[in-house]
Amino acid sequence: MTTPTSTPAVPRTGIWLIGARGSVATTVVAGCAAVAGGLQPAIGMVTLTPHFAGSGLPDLGSLVFGGHDVVSCPLPKRAEQLAARGVLPYDLPQVVRNELAAADAEIRAGGPVMDDLSQDDELISRFADDIASFRTRNNLVRCVVVNVASTEPAPREGDERLPASSLYAAAALRAGAAYANFTPSTGLHHPALTGPYDVPVAGRDGKTGQTLLRSVLGPMFAQRALTVRSWSGTNLLGGGDGAALADPDAAAAKNAGKARVLADTLGATPEGVVHIDDVPSMGDWKTAWDHIAFEGFLGARMVLQTTWQGCDSALAAPLVLDLVRLLARAHEVGLTGPLPELGFYFKDPDPRAPASLSEQYVALLGLAEQLRAEHT
């Protein structure tokens, strides 16, 4: 991640993380350094498979990190906490300490804090300035802003202020940065931010676990003409997201995404609800149980159950790195607006995206091909 002085510098791309000191962001920064340095294999990064060779995506080593957050615990310390809980390898925080510290130095105080009386526009400008100065200071060719903060409550009816996630999204647009919303928060899904956009954007709500499964199991039932009677799910998770999503308002957007994949792949919405439980002792680990009651020939009753036990940060981080590489390159070749080809990554993708994972994968490979064709 250093720039040689005697040869032309590799162009560097900025990654501006909203929630830059959270578990996902810490894993993104530490993991990027580890994989770029050859210390860890690139497990979970789709854009490092051979299908993306020659598509002109920026190297991991050329990424520069910064972001907004409201907490102050520095990244090296956060990484140690994650290692003690088994999320990061034992010795990684020490090995990539310099990279963590460098990213930490580029984190700015986020907001808005509860008692901030600034107008929305002032806040957007302040955040956009932070992004712009990050770009200038680091001599970056372009920036990608990614929201990886905790889920925010759904906006109350009649509330005229933009939710925080939308302020940051608007700041990205104002700063001319590509934007991805990896959370179920509002972001660009706000009447005030309907576009058109001058940059490529993607979202929302990263598809990391239960919904990933649903996006392959739903099509299986549909392709086999089996009738799904009910699809029930329970998620147990700790960490910040457990507490945030235990709030029914915050969970509403997330659950909408989970339901959509079923409706879209099955052609009908089955019985059953999804629960999201805050279980603090689970920490960064998430368990999702799904119970699917379906009918076969002559009405025979059958059941499929799945239990997914995953580490949310480890599932999210490589997808975030994929997204920033793809958006940076899309920006470079002049693509703008929502990219339906990135539906592979999201629970609630652009409406033009197909709903089944396999079709989304085909679309993603098509984007890789398109970006390759643009290569100069």
Binding to a copy of itself (CB under 8 A) within 54-93 occurs at: 83-84, 86-90, 92
- Contacts with a copy of itself by CB under 8 A: the residue count is 76
Among the candidate windows 249-257, 279-287, 323-331, 332-340, which touches a copy of itself by CB under 8 A?
Answer: 279-287
**Residue of 175, 226, 266, 326 interacting with a copy of itself (CB under 8 A):** 226
Measured CA to CA, the distance from residue 293 to residue 273 in angstroms comes to 13
Residue 279 makes contact with a copy of itself by CB under 8 A: yes
Which tokens belong to 342?
Answer: 């990135």
Judged by CB under 8 A, does residue 302 bind a copy of itself? yes
Question: If binding is defined by CB under 8 A, does position 371 make contact with a copy of itself?
Answer: no
CB of 132 to a copy of itself, least distance (A): 30
Tell me if 14 sits within 8 A of 134, measured CB to CB. Answer: yes
What is the three-class DSSP state of 244? helix
Q: Is 275 in the site for a copy of itself (CB under 8 A)?
A: yes
CA distance 177 to 153: 25
Do residues 310 and 282 make contact, with C-beta atoms less than 8 angstroms apart? no
Are 195 and 148 spatial neighbours (Cβ–Cβ below 8 Å)? no
Q: Under the criterion CB under 8 A, does residue 37 sit at the interface with a copy of itself?
A: no
| Contact set for a copy of itself, span 156-215 (CB under 8 A) | 212-213
Least distance CB 164 / a copy of itself (angstroms): 27
Residue found under tokens 């560097």: 12
Nearer to a copy of itself, 3 or 305 (CB): 305
In the bound state with a copy of itself, the residue whose beta carbon lies nearer, of 47 and 166, is 47
50 scored as a contact of a copy of itself (CB under 8 A): no
- At 295, list the tokens: 């009918």
Q: Which is nearer to a copy of itself, 197 or 361 (CB)?
A: 361
Per rule CB under 8 A, is residue 369 in the interface with a copy of itself? no
Q: Which residues pair with 63 in a beta bridge?
A: 13
300 binds a copy of itself (CB under 8 A): yes
If one asks whether residue 263 binds a copy of itself (CB under 8 A), the answer comes out as no
Our finding on whether 282 is near a copy of itself (CB under 8 A) is yes
Q: Which is nearer to a copy of itself, 105 or 273 (CB)?
A: 273
297 in contact with a copy of itself (CB under 8 A): yes
Q: Which long-range contacts (CB under 8 A, 24 or more apart) does 131-137 make?
A: 131/14, 131/16, 131/171, 131/172, 131/175, 131/177, 132/175, 134/14, 134/16, 134/66, 134/106, 135/14, 135/175, 135/177
Exposed/middle/buried for residue 344 (C-beta within 10 Å: 0-12, 13-18, 19+): buried
Minimum Å gap between C-beta 121 and a copy of itself is 38
CB-CB contact of 114 with 149 (8 Å)? no
Told to check if 34 binds a copy of itself by CB under 8 A, we report: yes
Q: Specify the residue, 197 or 308, whose C-beta has the smaller distance to a copy of itself.
A: 308
| Token digits of residue 292 | 């699917």
d(C-alpha 65, C-alpha 58), whole Å: 14
The 3 state secondary structure assigned to 182-198 is CCCCCCCCCHHHCCCCC
Nearest-angstrom CA–CA distance, 188 and 174: 13
Instruction: Considering the complex, state which of residue 191 and residue 299 has its C-beta at the smaller distance from a copy of itself.
Output: 299
| Ramachandran angles phi, psi of 303, nearest 5° | -140, 135
- SS3 call for 243: helix
Q: What binding mask, one character per residue, do residues 13-32 give for a copy of itself by CB under 8 A, x or -?
A: --------------x--xx-
Helix (H) / strand (E) element for 230: namely strand 227-237
C-beta of 165 vs 208, nearer to a copy of itself: 208
Of residues 45 and 266, the one with the C-beta less far from a copy of itself? 45
Note whether 255 binds a copy of itself by CB under 8 A. no
Query: Site residues for a copy of itself, window 125-144 (CB under 8 A)?
Result: none
Find the shortest distance in angstroms from Cβ 288 to a copy of itself: 10
